[in-house]
Each structure stands twice: as structure tokens, then as C-alpha cells.
Amino acid sequence: MNSILFAKILIDWWHKNKRDLPWKHTKDPYKIWVSEIILQQTRVDQGTPYYHRFIKRFPDVFVLAKASEDDVLKVWEGLGYYTRARNLHSTAKQIVKDNDGLFPENYEDIIKLKGIGPYSAAAISSFAFEGSHAVVDGNVTRMVTRILGIYDAVELPETKKSIQSYVSSAIQTVRPSSFNQALLDFGSQTCTPKDPGCAYCPFNLYCKAYHQNVVKILPIKRKKQPRKIRYFHYLDLSSVNQIILHQRSKNDIWKNLFELPMIETDSPTIENPESLLKHIDIILNDNNTTLVSCHKIYESTQLLTHQKINGYFYSISIAKISKKINPSHYLVERKKVSNFAFPKIITEYFRHLKKTDELLF
């Protein structure tokens, strides 16, 4: 199927089936940029309320640039992949400093910005400035491999190049913003991973996968690497209505987010109880900690792209917490924990506590 016919059929379909999304009613590159970063690892239905919340709190690049990172992470809380939020913040400051707040207009300059790859650069340049670079994501890859009957693994450079070349040729014949949005809408609404609408698909006369009865087989993907399994033992150190928090700082998952003090082990259990007490002594800057009680009260898991986090939560009551705790930790009132940005596994723990003991919050 030649690319010109592909573009024509796709645009005709889109005019009748386009999605009404909030960021499609603007040409403001800032708002389009925010929406594209949110949608990098997030479904539209999940990302939409975050988009509204983010734009309300940071309506333009100047407000975002002036904000603290903690504030940005708090607004982003629960969305995951927090590097996206940090990159947004860093790039906003760069745009204000180096370009007086003006977002770059061409693809070559947009892709140089932190946190923006070929897909995001193509989307932003086309939606905001009608740049003619075609977007290629999982949806686009799926529909093109099916229509053209591509049996090579989609991770291969040659396969990616072939798909990119095809849609890049097609976009030259139509309005770029309409074409790119049509690509994304079609892949999410019709040419879906499971149970695609082949019977009413406008490409079913030309789709090789449909005629060869391999729609459920394509695209071909390599086997995923197994997730790394990690065991986090969280210590809910409390005295009266105070709690100790720790801000992650290492170059690891959830950087700069807050959490409870934590011990990571190679197994689901803490083999040596003495190591637990020693860790508490370090946190409290006290070599003679008096424990009132220690109980495991909650377990949870969080799946990341390449990791599975198993969390075990211990309620540890202490006779007294000195204000001279370890400098990397913070002593805060329990009722104020909502002011901090946490990874999902910690947020779920606090929700569990709220359900079981309303007096703590």
C-alpha cells in the first residue's frame, strides 16, 4: 500500500472519529509539551486529570521555572516515572534562561531539550508548529506492521527505520498535525493490541495481516527481560503524632521523592533483628534506642518497567524521638505527610493507615 493512499484513508477516518482531548484545543507549545511528557508513559484517561492539575498549578513556563522541585514532584505524585517531572522542571528553567521563555519551533531544536526524544519532538513540532515529522510509538508501530505485513522484530533498527520511512513519506502529503493525531487515534481506537476492529477498519482491503490471518501475531516482539525483584523494609518510626521521613537522593528509582526510612535486603525477611535496631540507632543518632513495640503491619508491591518492588511496613513505636535525628531524615507531624511527594507504594501505605485508624491523620 503506497504512503499517499495510506495518508488519505487515515485522514478521512480521523475526521469522523477524532478524539476530543483538552490539549488539542491549543497551539500553545508549553501546554502541548506538558501533555506529551505526561503521555510518554501514561494512558490518556489516567493522564488527563494530571494535565489539568499541572496546568492549573503551573500555567506557563515562567511559573514552572520558578517552582521548587518538591512542589513539581508533589503535583506529579502518583503518575510515576518521576524523571519526566524533573526533566520538565529543568527544561523550563533552561527555556526561560536561554530563550526568554520562548519554546523552540523546529524539530532539530526541540529534540535537544532534556527529556524529549524523537517521538515527543515530532509530536510537539507538528501540533504546535505544523512541523512535518511523523510520530512513531507503539500504536503506530502496531498498525504499520500489520498493514504492511512486517514480520521482523520491531526492536530491530532496520524495522524501526522502515516504519519511520513509511510514515515520514505519508505525512508530506497532508496537514502534519492532523496526520500525527490520526495515527495516534487510530492505533488506540481501531488497530488495538487485542480484539482490533478489523471488520470495520478502513484499511482491511489492503492490510496484509488481515488477509493472512496474522493480526494477533503482529507485531513481532522480542521476549522481555525479567524484572529485577527488590525487597524494601520500611520503618514507620513514630512517637505520639510524629513520624520520620527520608528523601531519596541516590541515582536510583524515585530520586528526590520522600519515603519512610528503609532497609533493602536480598530476601523478604530481615534475617538479623539486631541490624534493624542498629539501623534505627543510626536514624535517631542514638545508641540506646528504647523500642516500645515493633510489628509488621502491611505489605505491598509496585511494578516498575524493569523492577518489582516488594514493600514490607513495620510499625515501630519509640519512647522518645530526639530532634537530633540523622541529618538526612526529617521529623514531621503525621497530619502533614500529605505535603510531601511519595512513590505510589508509600502513598498506598498511608491510605491503608487512614482506613484503619482515622486518628492518625
Task: Report how far residue 15's alpha carbon sits from residue 91's, in angstroms, rounded to the nearest whole number.
Answer: 34
Q: State yes or no: is 36 an active-site residue.
A: yes
Element (H, E) at 347: helix 344-356
251's CB contacts (< 8 A; 6+ apart) are: none
ω into 202 cis (within 30 of 0): no
Q: How many CB atoms lie within 10 A of CB 141?
A: 22
Q: Which of 36, 77, 259, 348 is catalytic?
A: 36
Contact 111, 117 (CB under 8 A): yes
Name the packing angle between helices 138-148 and 157-171 (round to 10°): 90
Q: How many CB atoms lie within 10 A of CB 28?
A: 17
Residue ranges of alpha helices (H) inside 19-68 are 29-38, 44-57, 61-66
Task: Report how far residue 89's alpha carbon sits from residue 5's, in angstroms, rounded to the nearest whole number.
Answer: 41
Task: Report how far residue 72's alpha carbon sits from residue 89's, in angstroms, rounded to the nearest whole number.
Answer: 7
> Is the alpha carbon torsion for 139, 143, 148, 149 positive or negative?
positive
Task: Report how far residue 151's alpha carbon sits from residue 177's, in angstroms, rounded to the nearest whole number.
Answer: 29
> Which residue, chain included where needed, has cell 496484509?
208
Cell of residue 69, nine digits? 522541585
Task: Report how far residue 155's alpha carbon sits from residue 220's, in angstroms, rounded to the nearest whole number.
Answer: 9
Distance from the Cα of residue 340 to its chain's centroid: 19
ω into 261 cis (within 30 of 0): no
- Pairing type for strands 258-259 and 291-303 reads unpaired
> Which residue, chain included where needed, has cell 534505627?
280
**Active site amino acids:** 36
